[in-house]
A and B are shown apart, each in its own frame.
Chain A
Amino acid sequence: MSKCRTYLCKAVLKEHFGDLAEKICLYMINKGCCHLRQIASETELPLDKVRKVLTALIQQNVIKFEKTKRGVVEYFVDIDVLLWRHRIPKFIHCAKSLYGDAAELLVEDIVYHGQIMMSKAVDNVTSKLNEALENAGHQKIGSSIVHDKFSLLAGSHFIRQCINGMETSEEELDERDQSTLYRVPPLHSTGKRKRSIDDSEQPAKRQKTDAPGDDGIYWKINSRRFHQYFRDQMFIKAISNRIDKRASTILQTMLRLSEVKTDDLCFTTQPLSFTEIFQAIPLDAGITRNLCEQYLTLMVDDSTNLVSKIGESGGGMFVVNIMKGLTSLCKAHLESVVQERFGSKSLRIFKVLLLKEHLEQKQIEEMAMIPSKEAKELLYNMFAQKFVSVTEISKTADHAPARTFYFFRVHMDQLARNILENCYKALANAMVKREAETIEHQ
């Protein structure tokens, strides 16, 4: 793993879980999978402390474990989940803006516990809300309202059930099992009734008749669903910037229609017919049939390639091109970095290279209309910071500079990866700085 990523992990661990967890996890990150005793002896910490830390982090979904063939349990850090922790405020905000205060508190509660049973979370949130309501002199609410919100969150896949890592792994789930992950048990039911509707992954081992109706079903945040939501918001924002608000409303409708139907890592969404899209557009947006048609054409023509038309049936079939959209956005972000870091003349050179791929310096000067001396400087500046790269093609075997062509180009993937690294580091820097400031002003 890269240095910057580890650096960020370190900062997140320290801020969220303290020094001890930081030490243990860093060791695990460097090692990969390891078993309990190994961790204890290598970090020179008492076994029970390590055990406690592991329990806490497993509860928070940061550490995963699996049983090897020899029957040893090995632990490893789920780095993605760890790094996603700094998005928690965004998750909570997102829940609030979509479903209101109760949903906000629910997400907060689930994040706080890592994994929690529905009945517990609903109870916690209900009492918290009631406390606030009482203080403000309002009437209390029943837990069923909170339960409704919970169902909403589950229904739109923002939260999901945990599966027991010792019995089934994520990969083994087929499509049908996937959908059962979001099934919400009823609020008040006996253990028996619960089991009759429960799925096969939560085998009824413990027969506790007095347990709450959802005993054994733990819920956690579905980060991927949140990411999908953020991604869609990015697209909507982009189209609203590029075309206008009404176009973005149509795109939003398309994305909403395919939201839970499409896997979050798909290249394109499910095809949607024109009629389907048009009927789903909120009425108050004031978009007529004709307008909707026109906006769809505009989006199909736009250089972001976000929307494509793939057929004529049903008034035209459309898909949202997730992959192409992300590529355009990524390009836009890279361009923004170049613009701020090197200035607009360099951006011009950069874009010339993006559009034409391989170019010699002379050609770049001509196309960008920048005098030779200046272009050279700008180009080599970007070259030094690895934003552009050079390919040498020599006419002769000795690679003499005079008989060699030097082609410049931009490697998008590589550059994007570099910039991501920079983002990790910048984020970690900000966290470290915040920490230092807090200590100083305590």
Chain B
Amino acid sequence: MAANVKQEPVEDTDLETRVLLMCHQNPEGITDALIQEDMPHFDVKQRVTAINRLLSTGRIDLLKSSSGKLIYKLKDSSSQDAVKGSDQQEKVVYQIIKDAGNKGIWIRDIRFKCNLLLTQVNKILKNLESKKLIKAVKSVAASKKKVYMLYNLEPDRTVTGGAWYSDQDFESEFVEVLNQQCFKYLVQKAEAAKETKVDPIAQRNSSYASSHDVWKYISELGISKVQLSVEDIETILDTLIYDGKCERSIVVGAGDSDKSKKLYRAINPVIQSTGLMRMPCGSCPVFHNCYEGGAVSPTTCIYMKDWLQL
């Protein structure tokens, strides 16, 4: 009898280790049917005990697969530590959030995945948040939408909008400052080229700066609190092209790198302001209402009067 009593736990732990082994081999998770197939010599009761023990010690998870079946999955040791002492539901929610990575996951999707009630999910999220295990991040894509992700993760660009957003507000002043600084750098470069080089072509070529150069200059200035990437600077330089203040040329495979390099340089405008805009009518707000004998007319016009200093 004693032997018998002793034997059972041995068998149970055996079963447990075998289940764990199976989970290891199938990180996607295993179904009940699979266990049964693999170990037909254990009966249902034994299986249930073993699995329950594994679940309660937090070594495997019970999840619902996409096809609707119940599956067992090996629990991450890391998440095991983080949510130690939490209850089962919390663990499930934590896992879902963890899987979402730094893109985050919307509360509706969490609910959908874990099949819990909204109030429950809310409570769990609050709990996890207060434990500083997860955080809520506002997405720039939709202002009302909050996404959850693990506390220690840096949110993805698509969520934060990149360097140009702080608290999902677009930092237009920051962009303008960078725009001006980049331009200043290019102008300096062009002026230096004018002074040092005699040949016009050499002058032009040395007035070009690569986006990497500009990036270095801006980083050294230290005007940005956030770390900017070269691509960020290229976006800014592009706005300078749209401002008509600089032009871009692309060289392919300079040196050993086979990537193409983007070069920028400041250019001079071809004209001063156009004639029409040098007289008041050009920017007159009532231009279309102005005619001889009308309420506004050239003869009575105050803009003209100021302009001619009459």
Contacts and interface: CB of A to CB of B under 8 A. Distances in A.
Interface of A: 7, 237-238, 241-244, 246-247, 290-291, 294-295, 297-298, 303-304, 328-329, 332-333, 335-337, 339-341, 344, 347-349, 351-352, 355, 367-372, 374, 419, 422-423, 425-426, 429-430, 432-433, 436-437
B277 A432 contact: no
A244 B281 contact: no
B270 A329 contact: yes
Contacts of A298: 200-201, 204
Contacts of A337: 274, 276-277, 282
Nearest to A336: B274
Given A347-B244, A351-B242, A340 B270 contact: no
B136 interface: no
A263 B65 CA distance: 79
7 contacts: A336-B274, A337-B277, A340-B282, A347-B243, A348-B243, A369-B235, A371-B172
B13 to A, nearest CB: 59
Interface string B291-309: 1100001110100100010
B238 interface: yes
A294 B172 contact: no
Given A344-B243, A348-B239, A371-B172, A422 B282 contact: yes
Contact of B175 (A369, A433, A436): A369
Nearest to B301: A433
B309 to A, nearest CB: 12
B17 to A, nearest CB: 55
B247 A374 contact: no
Interface string B273-293: 111110101110001001110
A351 B282 contact: no
Contacts of A371: 169-170, 172
Given A332-B269, A335-B244, 14 more contacts: A238-B271, A242-B269, A291-B199, A294-B201, A304-B270, A333-B274, A340-B273, A347-B243, A355-B241, A367-B242, A368-B239, A369-B236, A423-B275, A432-B299
B228 interface: no
Contacts of A372: 170
A342 to B, nearest CB: 9
Interface in B90-105: none
A347 B243 CA distance: 7
Contacts of B243: 344, 347-348, 351
A419 B276 contact: yes
Contacts of A349: 242
Contacts of B269: 241-242, 332
Contact of A432 (B274, B282, B292, B308): B292
Nearest to A349: B242
B252 to A, nearest CB: 17
Given A333-B271, A352-B242, A374 B172 contact: yes
Interface of B: 164, 169-170, 172, 175, 179, 199-201, 204, 235-236, 238-239, 241-244, 247, 267-277, 279, 281-283, 287, 290-292, 297-299, 301, 304, 308, 310
Given A241-B269, A432-B292, A436-B298, A426 B279 contact: yes
A426 B281 contact: yes
A370 B272 CA distance: 26
A25 B52 CA distance: 104
B283 A244 contact: no
B304 A369 contact: no
Given A241-B269, A337-B276, A437 B310 contact: yes
Contact of B271 (A332, A344, A355): A332
Contacts of A332: 269-271, 274
B239 A291 contact: no
B37 to A, nearest CB: 51
A27 B273 CA distance: 37
B270 A355 contact: no
B279 A430 contact: yes
Nearest to A334: B274
B271 A336 contact: yes
A242 B267 contact: yes
Nearest to B170: A371
Contact of B276 (A237, A374, A423): A423
B298 A429 contact: yes
A368 B179 CA distance: 11
A298 B249 CA distance: 14
Nearest to B278: A340
Contacts of B267: 242, 303
B199 A294 contact: yes
Contacts of A425: 281, 287
A335 B269 CA distance: 11
B177 to A, nearest CB: 12
A351 B310 contact: no
Contacts of B164: 369
Contact of B282 (A242, A426, A436, A437): A426
Contacts of A341: 277, 282-283
A349 B169 CA distance: 20
A313 to B, nearest CB: 22
Contacts of A290: 199
